[in-house]
Amino acid sequence: MPIHNADIAAILEEIADRLEIQGANPFRIRAYRNAARVVGEYGRSLRALIERGEDLTRLPGIGEDLAGRIREIAASGRCALLERLRRELPAGITDLLHVPGLGPKRVRLLYHDLDVQTLEQLYKAARDGRIRTLPGFGEKTELNILRAVEAHLGSTHRFKLATAAQYAESLVEHLEHARGVKRVEVAGSFRRMRETVGDLDILVTAGAGSDAMERFTGYDEIERVISAGSTRSSVVLRCGLQVDLRVVAEDAYGAALVYFTGSKAHNIALRSLAVAKGLKVNEYGVFEGARRIAGATEESVYAAAGLAWIPPELREDRGEIEAARAGTLPHLVELADLRGDLHAHSRASDGHDSLREMAAAAKARGFEYLAITEHSRRLAMAHGLDARRLAQQCEEIEALNAELQGITLLKGIEVDILEDGSLDLPDSALERLDLVVGAVHSRFDLTRAKQTARILRAMEHPRFDILAHPTGRLLDTREPYDVDMNAIIRQAARRGCALELNAHPERLDLLDSYCRMAKDEGVMVAIDSDAHSVADFDNLRFGIGQARRGWLSGADVLNTRSLAQLRKLLGRSGR
């Protein structure tokens, strides 16, 4: 049974949650929490590493005990420690920790004093006015809890794109080995590279006698089969992700792929255009009366409607139909277009690999350059660099560049933007650098006016080159801070700064809409991995997907340039 990194991380995270509710040793809790983060963000299959006999203790923060837990989970999908902890506390109690304002101490109090074990029980207790009677809560806190639980219970669970990819790619590989299968394609929001995915739609074409459906419904990771038929089946995986499989005919494959890729708004617009031409478009093809005139390929479907083929990432009914009709669709950026990465960390701050290891990994991906941008001193938890340590690293990079062939390390910094808009390091420390990446890491709660003014002032600094993760959001964890992105983008255009599209799956920040605004204003976007290990460069594919959703071409992306071109754009030629 395939065990994905996301599965291992979820178990480690639940262990940390349950230990915290029990009031266990904070260092032990933190170790499990950090391990869950490392495993969840790791770009390669841990199960594959274990099968090759590789030492898990080489991963940051993973000692022998945690390595043993990970091997246990990877082998069986279970963990004896978690099973013991589950016997000691109710099953659904960890869900309470995800309600804003509820930490472990409050959850423990709710459980012991009100016997609250689930979100539904929490909602009822808040609605009945019982929570306000507990010490440390009060009427306002109770109201906030009520609203938060209402929002949570009313929402449909979605999976982050990178998490969904782990399950989708394993399923595709599983189905490709089915007898008679010719093509397997994941459609839906996954193919459109949405930040989050509600479910998976998979299409296959297969010859007579194929066992694709039997192989699908017999997949090891299935928790429940909703329906099973000869051409369509629907299942729910153990992780909670619903997957629908459809077997389609070869001569209708393109039409089915268009239909099931969506979005709904795009499909409606496409069908309306076809109707105006006297045609009907559905999942089986394009029809003129009873005669099918297209459908074997996506290109044929769009051509029948008088359109150029539209890349999946653009299919949101945001002007792509009109652009396809006018022949003005952009040539979207591709992963192969990237010549380097402008945001990466090493062991000097909170990264996990050495400068040399990061350089080698970047070179192996065909990169011409890699910017090393450690955190600055204010981010003490990340071992941020002060002026002295930054100068020391600059010397190390220069010495290493004298040895390296085929790759150049750029001297950079991810400098904190302080509350007043000043930068966390003196100008004298920034003079020697090839580029400066500015970032907000604190005071996310400032008013819109103050947050905007803070960032605008930082961008005025003559050494400021790129604004990192511009809205500060973390998917499902932290909302974007309140900032006027129109003003930020106009400032970047005026100053000649770039905005970062942070490809880390937890961020995917810029939003696609802001990417398009930047493009319209002539502002360049840097698609960066924010790599903290050599494996993190894998995340660039998700940043590319987001950039494509934002209509970005290679010309709109800063790090598609050669090193010489980049230096000129940064205004640091010869440094």
Residues of the chain with CATH 3.30.210.10: 252-326
Which fold would CATH assign to domain 5-153?
DNA polymerase; domain 1 (1.10.150)
What is d(CA 423, CA 368) in angstroms, rounded to the nearest whole number? 29
How far, in Å, CA of 269 to CA of 290, rounded? 22
The owner of tokens 């942070």 is 502
Q: Where in the chain is the domain with CATH 1.10.150.110?
A: 5-153
Whether the pLDDT of residue 3 is over 50: the answer is yes
Neighbours of 159 (CB within 10 A): 22
Token pair for 385: 């660099």
- What is the pLDDT confidence band of residue 154, given thresholds at 50, 70 and 90? low
Alpha-carbon Rg for the chain, nearest whole angstrom, is 26
User: In the chain, which residues fall in CATH 3.30.460.10?
Assistant: 159-247
What is the rounded distance in angstroms from the CA atom of residue 228 to the CA atom of residue 211? 13
47-56: long-range contacts, CB 8 A cutoff, minimum separation 24: 47/2, 47/3, 47/4, 47/74, 50/74, 50/75
Query: Residue 240: which region, alpha, beta or left (left: phi > 0; alpha: psi -120 to 50)?
Result: left
Output the pLDDT for position 571.
Answer: 67
Distances (CA, A) of 407 to 365, 410, 498: 10, 10, 23
User: Which pair of structure tokens corresponds to residue 36?
Assistant: 């869950």
- Read off the DSSP letter of residue 320: H
Fold held by 335-570 = TIM Barrel (3.20.20)
Distance (Å, rounded) from C-alpha 550 to C-alpha 555?
13
Hey, what's the torsion of the CAs at 66, 67, 72, 75, to 10 degrees? 150
**pTM, 2 dp:** 0.83
**pLDDT digit string (tens) for 458-492?**
999 999 999 999 999 998 778 899 999 999 999 99
Q: Is the pLDDT of residue 574 over 70?
A: no
Q: How many CB atoms lie within 10 A of CB 125?
A: 23
Reported as a pLDDT band with limits 50, 70 and 90, residue 1 is low
- Report helix, strand or coil for 201: strand
Say how far apart CA 531 and CA 362 lie, in whole Å.
10
Match domain 159-247 to its CATH number in 1.10.569.10, 3.30.565.10, 3.30.460.10, 3.60.130.10: 3.30.460.10
* CATH superfamily, domain at 252-326: DNA polymerase, thumb domain (3.30.210.10)
Residues of the chain with CATH 3.20.20.140: 335-570
Give tens-digit pLDDT for 226-270: 999 989 999 999 989 999 999 999 999 999 999 999 999 999 999
pLDDT surpasses 80 at 45 = yes
What CA–CA distance (Å, rounded) separates 74 from 50?
8
